[in-house]
Structure 1
């Protein structure tokens, strides 16, 4: 593993409207293999996407509107950009018994969906082909790599959910507790409390995500503008299946068999996912690299204050320019 030192490069302008769909972008739906529709957004790419193509996958409870600024910046850098919701969250329906709890029968369902989207998207876009995933999205990208379901030219993972930030107990113990919780009640029930007042964000939620009050407020604005995006806690079924999927990644030889260049961006101050697990993954991956942050960054590194976000975006750009240069026309 190589740990990369990156100096922040200021973004040009800072005039992007994070509360509007950019004129260059197009929203649509995409039918998965079983006919389930998920939301999709595409930027065709400046200069006809001659730089290549990036497919972005958000995290648990996320929606692509939170990342419009980053997606548009990649577009302006010449990439053809696509982002999709995961089945069962944001504007792509629900899989549990209510409108806000995030549930999944098994993470392999999402891996199947990603593989299906990947094949279609890759066939219609110009290479090099890059996969980027945040948090749970990063976990699922790595899981699909380990399971040999996708073949990107390069991968970018921001604050990937490769372990949970919580009690320092063995993974098998944490998984066992979650498994018990799915048996003593419905696995679709919420695994944690969202707020004392239904529908209201927890008071300390921003402290977990970002130092940037304005970017955090953008998310709340989109939730009010598009109520279908609102999601609260994960279900006990989600928690149990998440631990099971983490154990799959922890298997001996799993990450060591991945030959794709992978950049991991992670912060030691993350209170949602495990930074040590992310750093260890960068070491295990044969072509893994790490850009590490400290107290200056919380979980949503791409939605942090400008100096932090600029450093992250510069790190991604340097990595992609080196490992996935433009194809020769």
Structure 2
């Protein structure tokens, strides 16, 4: 698909262009460029699980107002990027592959198109391959702002339980089985744990209805296994020893989806990582009510100003 998913409540930013490109292994991934006049730099913005480019048009508008070009891609296995190549990887080395997809997108496509300085900005699941890339010593970005990064899926004893169960189910060939058969909670506003803003919640629901092939079903045991395995790697001593750039982790004050408390553990592992908590925010901070988002954008502006 070489056009954007369109709904009336989600205007496409001026000058936007979407395109398909080949990953290093040949998988077809979808990218998008959002230029702005007189840019002061470029943001590579990467979404979370089950999200896709169009969900972030409003966020892109906020970044354009700050004079940043924006580049995005749909992660492999999500949105309108290739899904077939992700299926086996999801219970093997999925997040390592995403790390290399991000590296390739930035080096082969974003840098030839947009000028420096480059900054990385992610949400939720997008924070995991981002941290892996940065921990690898990659310095292609000047700094990174990670919104509610998925560094550990579950808090407390549940993490050990799901780690064990997902490993067993994947080992016996059931990695493709969904973790739950229940209807995706994100489709109903009442009781959702993602955002307290009904209009922004509904807008993403309408985007999913407009292009069902871009939506995701429930996560699989294989995906959980890959996530918990990568999280364990991330918590090994010395994992961040090669980190080259400043990283600011933003934690939702009312986080109920991932283990937000783990962000403190990650931040303690490197003097290049700092943590900011946004009071009253649910998991999707950039999709929250304006008054809840305000401290997030203040944290963004102060972080950029230190560069």
Q: State whether TM-score is above 0.5.
A: yes
Q: Which runs of 4+ in 1 moved over 6 A?
A: none
State the Cα deviation string for residues 85-114 of structure 1 (Å, max 9, x = none): 00111111323899xxx9464221111211
Distance 2:142 2:262 in 1: 23
Q: What is the distance in 1 between the residues matched to 2:158 and 2:196?
A: 31
Matches within 5 A, 1:52-63: 52-63=41-52
Name stretches of at least 5 consecutive residues in structure 2 with no aligned partner: 1-7
Instruction: Tell me the CA shift for residue 283 of structure 1.
Output: 2.7
Decide which of 221, 230, 241 is 1:236's aligned counterpart.
221
Map 1:1-329 to 2 at 5 A.
Answer: 19-47=10-38, 49=39, 51-95=40-84, 103=90, 105-106=92-93, 107-120=95-108, 121-149=110-138, 151-166=140-155, 168-169=156-157, 174-195=162-183, 203=188, 207-294=192-279, 296-323=280-307
Tell me how far apart the structure 2 counterparts of residues 223 and 206 of structure 1 sit (CA, whole Å). Answer: 19
Structure 1 residues 205 and 30: CA distance shift in structure 2, 3 A = farther
Question: Contact (CA 8 Å) 2:136, 2:242: kept in 1 or not?
Answer: no
Q: Give the conservation status (yes or no) of the 8 Å contact 1:210–1:297.
A: yes
Q: Deviations over 1:12-38 (max 9, x none)?
A: xxxxx7512122211222221122221
In the alignment, the residues of structure 2 paired with residue 224 and residue 203 of structure 1 have an alpha-carbon distance, to the nearest angstrom, of 13
Change in Cα spacing, 1:206 to 1:263, as seen in structure 2 (3 Å) is: farther
Higher relative contact order (CA 8 A, sep 6+): 1
Structure 2 distance, partners of 1:263, 1:202, is 30
Deviation at 1:205, TM superposition (A): 7.2
Secondary structure of 1:72's aligned partner: helix
- Asked if the contact 2:44–2:120 (Cα under 8 Å) also holds between the matched residues in 1, the reply is yes
**Contact 2:166-2:175 within 8 A present in 1 as well:** no
Cα deviations by residue, 1:120-148 (Å, 9 ceiling, x for unpaired): 12243211111111101011100111123
Q: Could you tell me the TM-score, scaled by structure 2's length?
A: 0.89
Once residues 143 and 129 of structure 1 are traced to their aligned partners in structure 2, the CA distance between those partners, rounded to angstroms, is: 18
C-alpha separation between the residues in 2 aligned to 1:279 and 1:218?
A: 32
In 2, the alpha carbon distance for the partners of 1:42 and 1:124 equals 9
Alpha carbons 1:223, 1:230 under 8 Å: kept: yes
Give the Cα separation in 2 of the matches to 1:24 and 1:231.
28
**TM-score, normalised to structure 1's length?**
0.83
Other-structure match for 2:4? none
TM-fit CA distance, 1:203: 4.3
Inter-partner Cα distance in structure 1 for 2:292 and 2:177: 36
Secondary structure of the 1:234 match is: coil
Shift in Å, 1:52: 0.8
Aligned partners of 2:190 and 2:102: how far apart in 1? Answer: 29
Aligned residues: 297
**Contact 2:186/2:192, CA 8 A, preserved across alignment:** no
1:170-214 Cα offsets, whole Å, 9 max, x none, are 85654232211213442112122241xxx8966467621000000
Structure 1: unaligned runs, 5 residues or longer: 1-16, 324-329
Contact 2:91 2:223 survives alignment (8 Å)? yes
The CA distance in 2 between the partners of 1:33 and 1:96, in whole Å, is 12
Q: Is the 8 A contact 1:27 1:40 kept in 2?
A: yes
What displacement does 1:261 show?
Answer: 0.7
